[in-house]
Structure 1
């Protein structure tokens, strides 16, 4: 199969323009007309009086229903409650999941106006079928000048060395005062305040392909805005490409009926948007995300295209996701746009308005009836027209005045009004019990529980809308988290409930496991807190539960109870058992422990001394035994030496005796030689 060629910018502009023209947008669409109709009923402009001079009362049922539901949802998700938590994936992931929860919550509610964003999204969802936000990474790098004056030369040298090792320092300059020899160091430092930015999208600026089921599967989703060339330059677009744009027009969004209706009560008319200054001329800019084969690889990839006017492509890049997230309170299966909450209440407002006007007009006519007057019978007609209380009307004959017959009020009018109120409660799911009555004032048995059950049953539909909003919040928090780990490159320290927490988003990992805490019913948080309290009392009173229900588990239960009441700085009231050192004894216990320790040391010393004595005695006995053995061995050796000596003496004596005998023999021989003896011959 041959590979298709990549699309040129002209082809992309033509494709995007065709999809925009075929999408759901425009003041003439049924969707825009429905939004305008709901806005007029919400503002109390409809229904209008049938005739000039008629009573202009308008029942504000749409306003009441929308504001009641909006207040319930906002209280659920922002009333001192942190609804979104990133669930840890394992034991080692607990700390990182906690950091992700804290920092993402910080980015939504502190770096952005989280409450106002949720307010606008819920309002648009109830009034315009869908509430939308756009989430993107807003780069904000600013150059801040710093000047350090009157520094010691040594301190200045150390500071200059420090600045030379810092990457975001520029234009460093050193000046020395010749008189004082003090140094002034000036430099510019770039501070990165980039963040995840969240902005509600007005309904008239958003467009989606016709018959789309969801934004993820739509052929195109986009936001149209009117911007000047200066705005586009600030957004970072190329100046040469902007110079080629010739389709500057007036701000057509300013003339949009929905925008005009929004500002109807605060301005006298449509502001003049025309200007002779070319720098203030505006052009329609479409921030589009569509699926098509842009690079010729044969795959339908998601592309981000910024189209200025009808033919100028300012930006074209392949992306992995679009930045829009939608809240649909009343979902319709297999359709992106849900049902309109306000439009369901509008007919009730119309009927109640007409019936109430009838009652008021009838009362006015009854108190101020119309008269038939005989010609010429009134002395001064002004006296009748003024209708002063107690005023006198001068007539010339008694039958000069007669009230015109006035039909009585239909008795079913008030029943019909009550029926409309009941119908509104059935449609909206918001009852009078859930709005104004306090169950604590009921003193009869079981009456409080009965009121609580009826109020909770009336909020079943509110729970459905709340769960749809929780899905929207989950997607929003995941998107913010993803932007943080993709773009945040530095460690930050944030203030959470009075405690400074250090977070390092650059080391986080991708996650989508989000848990939502949802408790919207009549006192459901109080019920959960009471259940946890009863569980704690029961488990702590059971003697056999102490090994498995320790102080750590009890701390977790009380922490959850405090969080249900909106108290998140739990550390100010309860200490985590993991951070508590071992309990220290009292002074008396410490004294007794010291005495026992000294007694133990004495006993150990005595035992050690006894052991030393035993060891010494053994060594003495061994030495004595060894001495005795050495004495015996020495005696034996002495005896052997004495015996050997005697033998030697004997041998010496024998030798002496032998020598003496030999000497005697020799002397005898010598003597014999000196004196010869005659030898007589034998016979």
Structure 2
């Protein structure tokens, strides 16, 4: 059997090219199409099977069930993991590792939240998983050298020396100029000392009383002259304006979200740990590659396959082409694939995991590694498959159906408001018919020239029932109910216990998703622990609960045998606080029988304070181990002290008894005096009240008499007025009856006269008629 030969660079290029082409999500494929479709549904775009018919006037509305479901789940998932200061808690597997496990917990949670913006990382990570089947993170020890320009103005020599002592800085520009403020202070000091010198010289001059002069004044003159000379000899103070270049060379933990379209994995892989090939395809500038330490970056051939990724274009709607032929060659973008491939590179017959960095036709790096720096989460895993299902996959069918129902309802409404009409050509003004407005007039030449076409009318009730059914189907598919969202009005008619049971069952699906996500956090923090233990080579300090604590990961080297508990908890924080309160009551009973101690009570109250949102529980509770109780007193001394206290209490009781007796006697005498005074005062009040009542009764009798006389006088006046009024009314009525009688008589007389005149007139007519008839008869007889 021939021994395998080592792989050459050309063989490694061919092997990595083959693995990249065969990997899932290289350029496109079924998975890419499904994720693009999920993104379209999430954005509510009328594309793919949500595309409306190409008919003008038809509804283009899109239901947003996928987005609503995912955005409703996100707050609960974020609260479970990043709602507090700790995502995970390390537990030691050996008794001597308790302090190390606590230090690991504090330091790694600090790195995750403070140094890598853990909240934003988790938000993107969860959204990728819920929307696009899996979310990916990349964790590595970043050693890139970052150069930053720093400028300082007005530095003194000491401040400049302190900055220059930092090995990470290098001065690139410097300007020196005198310190005007120091020069002014020096001039003021010289003037003040000059005045003092003149005064001292005057005091030192000889006079008749002291021919030899004043020795002390002479000594002061000499000292002042020496000080002035010393100040004048000093060089002027200088200030410095300096520009530095700071090169940050220290490594750090780096955690970045990986877009799903940039992650590559073998098609047959079931996990990242066991995959034959894992890759990360990402655009980099030549400047970034040089800062990462790669040397052969100038001869990289152009590779623009990444720009053809349709999923990336769907995600970035404003993606524009970047011109690589700009004047700054350091900003030229190339696509770099970081491959983690299992191959027998050294020819020993055993495949090892190697990191091969490819860019165009170049191999930028080739080294053996112990693991691929990626972790992933999936909300709904499928057995024996790397890619499972997303929440978007569960909700897309409901969104598509509800979109069609909504469009049908709206189209039916549009047709009812603006229906279709027929018109006889030449008999109707089509401009009036086409321009639909309330109260508009359509000019026609024939009443039958225009009319509305028969068309179907949608059943709104059936559509609403179908929408409700699809809403229930969405809840059953995703497990996220209206009770979980807290926006079901029917819940007001339910009992609190019933709603809590329904909500709890609805949240179980979300808790299962959270449990799946928790496995990703376990892998993430285990990898973070591995990186800091291997690469961090110096001690650092972090603030834990208001105290600065030293952290030295070198003490944790090769200490990877710790268990990780992700802080999911049981129920919400409010429920956990209530359960801890109930446990505190049980703990009080347990203290009485000796199965609980002050340390247990302290730990319970610390956990309760943290759940309530108080970061530093030591402000409110003291650790009994740090503050032990005071020592117990000597039994004999305690006995003597107790006997002495008993005697003191007896004497005090006797004194109190005598004092109480005296106080009681004094109170009795005081009560008697008060009673006598009250009796005398009551008698005086009674007599005064009796006299006042007698006067009130007499006044009331007088008032009644006066009131009776006034009432009789008033009654008499009222009676006289009534009699006068009755007489007036009687006279008026008699006068009216007389006038009415006269009017009737006059009417009768007038009517009689008219009747008489009519009778006389009729008689005359009858007489004339009789004469004419007689004459006519006479004429007839004559003839």
Aligned position for 1:548: 595
2:604 is equivalent to residue 560 of structure 1? no
Aligned position for 1:51: 54
Selected match of 1:403 from 440, 449, 452? 452
Aligned position for 2:706: none
Task: Give the direction of change, closer, same or farther, for the CA distance of 1:188–1:36 in structure 2 (3 Å limit).
Answer: closer
CA contact (8 A) 1:60 1:349 kept: yes
* Distance (whole Å) between structure 1 residues aligned to residue 146 and residue 625 of structure 2: 43
Selected match of 1:115 from 114, 119, 132? 119
Unpaired segments of 5 or more residues in structure 1?
586-591, 600-683
Q: Could you list the per-position Cα deviations for residues 391-450 of structure 1 after superposition, in whole angstroms to 9, with x for gaps in the alignment? A: 333444444442221312135322221111111111111001100248998586xx1111
Q: CA deviation at 1:14?
A: 1.6
Q: How does 1:56-95 map to 2 (within 5 A)?
A: 56-80=60-84, 82-95=86-99
Aligned position for 2:564: 514
2:41 is equivalent to residue 41 of structure 1? yes
Q: CA deviation at 1:148?
A: 10
2:300 is equivalent to residue 253 of structure 1? no
Task: Give the direction of change, closer, same or farther, for the CA distance of 1:498–1:402 in structure 2 (3 Å limit).
Answer: farther
CA contact (8 A) 1:135 1:197 kept: yes
Selected match of 1:242 from 297, 301, 320? 297
* Distance (whole Å) between structure 1 residues aligned to residue 28 and residue 565 of structure 2: 41
Selected match of 1:229 from 286, 289, 310? 286
CA RMSD in angstroms, aligned pairs only = 3.7
Aligned position for 2:434: 385
Q: In structure 1, the residue corresponding to 2:297 is in which secondary structure?
A: helix
Aligned position for 1:637: none
CA contact (8 A) 1:143 1:189 kept: yes
Aligned position for 2:623: 576
Q: In structure 1, the residue corresponding to 2:92 is in which secondary structure?
A: coil
Q: CA deviation at 1:470?
A: 0.5
Q: In structure 1, the residue corresponding to 2:542 is in which secondary structure?
A: strand
Return the structure number with greater helix share: 2
Q: Could you list the per-position Cα deviations for residues 497-531 of structure 1 after superposition, in whole angstroms to 9, with x for gaps in the alignment? A: 4332221112124224111121475xx33222212
Aligned position for 1:270: 320
CA contact (8 A) 1:79 1:566 kept: no
Q: In structure 2, the residue corresponding to 1:304 is in which secondary structure?
A: strand
Unpaired segments of 5 or more residues in structure 2?
179-232, 645-783
CA contact (8 A) 2:591 2:597 kept: no
Selected match of 1:470 from 494, 505, 518? 518
Q: CA deviation at 1:171?
A: 8.8
2:337 is equivalent to residue 286 of structure 1? yes
* Distance (whole Å) between structure 2 residues aligned to residue 142 and residue 230 of structure 1: 11
Larger mean Cα displacement after TM superposition, 474-483 or 404-413: 404-413
CA contact (8 A) 1:237 1:314 kept: yes
Q: In structure 2, the residue corresponding to 1:285 is in which secondary structure?
A: strand
CA contact (8 A) 1:439 1:448 kept: no
Aligned position for 2:213: none
Q: Could you list the per-position Cα deviations for residues 538-571 of structure 1 after superposition, in whole angstroms to 9, with x for gaps in the alignment? A: 33145633x3322221111112222223333222
Task: Give the direction of change, closer, same or farther, for the CA distance of 1:387–1:89 in structure 2 (3 Å limit).
Answer: same
* Distance (whole Å) between structure 2 residues aligned to residue 203 and residue 41 of structure 1: 17
Aligned position for 1:655: none
Selected match of 1:452 from 488, 492, 500? 500
Q: How does 1:317-466 map to 2 (within 5 A)?
A: 317-378=367-428, 380-410=429-459, 411-437=461-487, 442=492, 447-466=495-514
Larger mean Cα displacement after TM superposition, 135-144 or 301-310: 135-144
Q: In structure 1, the residue corresponding to 2:521 is in which secondary structure?
A: helix
Q: CA deviation at 1:27?
A: 3.4
Q: CA deviation at 1:255?
A: 3.6
* Distance (whole Å) between structure 2 residues aligned to residue 318 and residue 196 of structure 1: 20
* Distance (whole Å) between structure 1 residues aligned to residue 51 and residue 245 of structure 2: 63
* Distance (whole Å) between structure 2 residues aligned to residue 147 and residue 317 of structure 1: 46
* Distance (whole Å) between structure 2 residues aligned to residue 374 and residue 150 of structure 1: 98
Q: CA deviation at 1:208?
A: 0.8
Q: CA deviation at 1:364?
A: 1.6
Q: In structure 1, the residue corresponding to 2:371 is in which secondary structure?
A: coil
Q: How does 1:108-257 map to 2 (within 5 A)?
A: 108-139=112-143, 179-180=234-235, 193-238=250-295, 241-245=296-300, 247-249=301-303, 251-257=304-310
* Distance (whole Å) between structure 2 residues aligned to residue 528 and residue 124 of structure 1: 30
* Distance (whole Å) between structure 2 residues aligned to residue 43 and residue 248 of structure 1: 33
Q: Could you list the per-position Cα deviations for residues 133-171 of structure 1 after superposition, in whole angstroms to 9, with x for gaps in the alignment? A: 11111125668989996569xx99xx89x999x987989
TM-score by length of 2: 0.66
Q: CA deviation at 1:279?
A: 4.5
Report which of the two structures shows the higher radius of gyration computed on alpha carbons.
Answer: 2
TM-score by length of 1: 0.75
CA contact (8 A) 1:255 1:270 kept: no
CA contact (8 A) 1:121 1:200 kept: yes
